[in-house]
Structure 1
Amino acid sequence: MHSKSGQPAVRAAPGLSAAPIALAWLTQFLVGTDLFVVAPLLPAIAASLGVPATSTGLLITAFSIAYVVASPFAGWLSDRRDRASVLVGALVLFSAANVGTALAPDFGVLLATRVVAGVAAAATGPTVYALVSTRARPEARAQVLAVVGSGLLTALWVGAPAGALLGRHVGWQAAFVILAAGTFLLAFPHAFVWRSRPEFAAAPPAGTGGRAGRAGRAGIGTVVSAVAVTTLWAFSVYSLYTFLAVALHADGRAGTTAWLLVVYGVGAVVGGQVGGRFADRAGAVRVTRTALVLTAALEAAVALVYPVTWALACALGLFALAGYAFFPAQQRHLVDMFPERATAMLSWNNSALFVGLSLAGAVGGQVVDALGYPELLYVGAAVAVAACIVARGRRA
């Protein structure tokens, strides 16, 4: 019995040891650092290349658009080819893009290298998730996804600030050179570590009565419906995160930004682990629904206590814990329901994430300008309620 990725699918597979999980975590950490480090480096990039600071925001937009467009195709390719080979190729391309970023002589070339980096990242993240999820024991699948996903979340509050600090002292180019070297070196163990670890045969989630196989053959409408909840969730979560520092600066609380973001980041990491563990025990859909209800309630709570810093810190930590419990459960749900298209579904899910993130930035900025930051949080809470309604249509 073989999977479409070319790997043997056996039920008695030994599962994953710590080494491949650590390798997957480090890969997500480096790719995530590359994604998040650009924003704090924008002023230095603008000064270095002699372009307006406002124009450098296009670097983030270009990366995101490239990711959204390339991700479904990358997932389709990965499901039809050897996933490990696709991952190795993506890491090498990602490394080359970062070298190009560091050596870019002008803004036009720099913009092009970020597009290439976005394409490479689109093939990297979902393929890593598919490799670990199809080789993890089914009863621990969401937990493994949560551990690997915590690499991306750690990049948010550790990798990006470290890269920004490095860029401030030795130049923004150095940050991308180090990321290029790291991702290139990771390609070598990825070329070998997955060969000796066969896949578990995909089993339908409890209570589906074999519907998972039929879902795996469903059309584009089913796919869009399955990942639409991720877009709504991402809008709710990232509208709060994106404008938090801006709001604190405007309120004269700039000195609290760093430690509040650490509280948020720690809550997100813990939430991912909790969500993964409960998804494996109680069912992925049940956890996504519960997480969305709590996300809506706690985002409204953040808005209510926003003027009081200590209360804001408590609410932020709880909000991040509840909000990020959703993601590994959603990933497990997609892998269970679309077992033979695991990478493609995770790619679509990541594209949906970036769509929600982009909408949060575009719409959130307008709401903050017109009404204020707490009012944006009420909008985000309402969107989380909409996500709950969409998720209610899914079977546990």
Structure 2
Amino acid sequence: MRRVVITGAGTINPLGQSVPQTLAAMREGRCGIGPLQFRDVERLAVKIGAQVQGYDPEAVFNRQQLALYDRFTQFALIAAREALALSGLEFTGALADRSGVVLGTSGGGLTTQDENYRAVYEEGKNRVHPFVVPKLMNNAAASHVSMEFNLRGPSFTVATACASSNHAMGQAFQMVRSGLCTAMVTGGTEAMLCFGGVKAWEGLRVMSKDACRPFSATRNGMVQGEGGGVFVFEDYEHAKARGAEILAEVLGFAMTSDAADIVMPSKQGAARAIAGALKDGGIAKERVGYINAHGTGTAANDKTECAAVADVFGRHADRLMISSTKSMHGHLIGGTGAVELLACIMALRDGVIAPTIGYEEPDPECALDVVPNEAREASVDVVLSNAFAFGGLNAVLALGRV
């Protein structure tokens, strides 16, 4: 079994259009949530979200590319370009054949789908653009990343709702660790902030109309966001031989299914995933210093996640730091785990723990150290990233400092 390290990272999200911008915002506890800006927003009951501001697609892509790239694909390509530039890898020859891409997304080209439903059903048009299918398909982002960077190995998309990114990164980790691949480009992307995307989520009645306040007794729901994060997972010996800068090591991964309810989370399922990641990485629970929580800000998720952490870590749970960056960048659904992995890397490399902002009042059912409102300096050696999705699908990654 090979060691797996992260040698590249890239992102575009409501906190920033690069990794340095995003980490600066996390350190400052900046909020990327605000009034939604798109067509027919006045018809929504929920009018807030975390949108990527100041982004002009035409400044990045040409007209021919925009005809093929839905917003979620654009985010993936922008993040991948930053990650590959940082890693210094070029995929040619045998390396290209032994490297691939696994990305997570939940909705895929939902913006394209929304626009074309409008054209056909609202405006009465009988024709749509011939590229609608290749533009909206869930694997579009992964396919375009593979084509742009000549990744000729295993390439596919994972769609497991809010756990999509973690599941994708877990698969990439296992492929490199097993020796199947030398390097994998992995992460997730999502662009659901359109009228139909928000309207559908409204129906679940889990959305906040004012703010995302994870773990606070005053929390009243989640807030949707958009964006993506992409990483380069690489064989440690390969990275070491070429003198690559190593951001962190991927130590373990586990995934479980609650097999219980389509929307209600399960403490047992979450706990089995957390414990499984520790076991997979051979990690003593006392070594874990920080957990980036799923922490959606809903009543059910936050108390269930805290109970699962308490069950797994026992007395050590009181010495853990656990925060939810969704309070800043919103819930990026299929892309959320990828952007949140940046907070894990920041904790390991910079000794800065991202805060849970918007925290107002302690909840006895969330009685852990949730790093309220302000970032904290702390030295940690091992961190976890939790993702728990609708459908009862759980995925937890363990990272360590190299």
TM-score (norm 1): 0.29
The structure with the largest strand share of the pair is: 2
TM-score (norm 2): 0.29
